[in-house]
Amino acid sequence: MSSNLRMPPILENPKKILLLSGKRKSGKDFLAEKLKSILGEDCTVLRISEPIKKHYAEKCGVNFKELLGDGPFKEKYRKEMIVWGEQIRAEDPGYFCRLVCKNAQKTAFWIISDIRRKSDIHFFEQNYGNKMKSVRINTSKEIRESRGWVYTIGVDDVQSECDLDDYADWDVIVSNDGHYENDIDRILKLLD
């Protein structure tokens, strides 16, 4: 056997990275899971908040799985986690993005389902160039409220929730107000 045949394949993955952004309860995780169910094994859903939650759970002795879920536990600790995450980011804005990419499975598509800051977008632009596609999910206040959103000082009025309100360079903007099938098609086209 020639030594060439034993060379490991060059990893071209991920081929595309979808960044999902939107206000709380806009449906980022919901749409990420719908996309994953279509893309299957070729796709990994990643969350920048995951290493934050993991660290926070270990530090404070709380349940990591509960923090990841969509329930009251996450809401209870959200404010504290935001403050802690901001302290780390102040020194190194790419810290959590880098951690997520480093530990991610090398599938063809990555979906990052919780993009919250311009610095997150810049990280992916700088490191992955045109592979990165950004999606903003704009969902009405009324629908978000019907999904359990309650305006909370210290959460809804801080950078993690508002920094991307004035970002204007989205590849696709969707409204997840009820019917999402067309939105899914428009997002999938970004992966061509």
Ligand X SMILES: Nc1ncnc2c1ncn2[C@@H]1O[C@H](COP(=O)(O)OP(=O)(O)OP(=O)(O)O)[C@@H](O)[C@H]1O
Q: Which residues are annotated as a binding site for substrate?
A: 176
Calpha distance 167→80 (Å, rounded): 26
For residue 190, CA distances in Å to 16, 115, 186 come to 8, 17, 7
**Residue 187 beta carbon to ligand X: minimum distance, rounded to whole angstroms:** 13
In the 8-state DSSP scheme, what is residue 123?
Answer: H
Stretch that binds ligand X, among 19-27, 52-60, 166-174, 184-192 (CB under 6 A): 19-27
Calpha distance 27→23 (Å, rounded): 8
* Token pair recorded at residue 48: 């920048």
147 contributes a contact to ligand X by CB under 6 A: yes
Within residues 56-75, the interface with ligand X by CB under 6 A covers 70
170 contributes a contact to ligand X by CB under 6 A: no
26 contributes a contact to ligand X by CB under 6 A: yes
22 contributes a contact to ligand X by CB under 6 A: yes
Q: Which of 28, 89, 117, 136 binds ligand X (CB under 6 A)?
A: 28
What does the DSSP assignment read for 152-175?
A: -TTTTTSHHHHTTTT----SEEE-
Q: Which of 14, 16, 25, 135 binds ligand X (CB under 6 A)?
A: 25
**Where on the chain is the footprint of ligand X (CB under 6 A)?**
22, 24-30, 70, 147, 176, 180
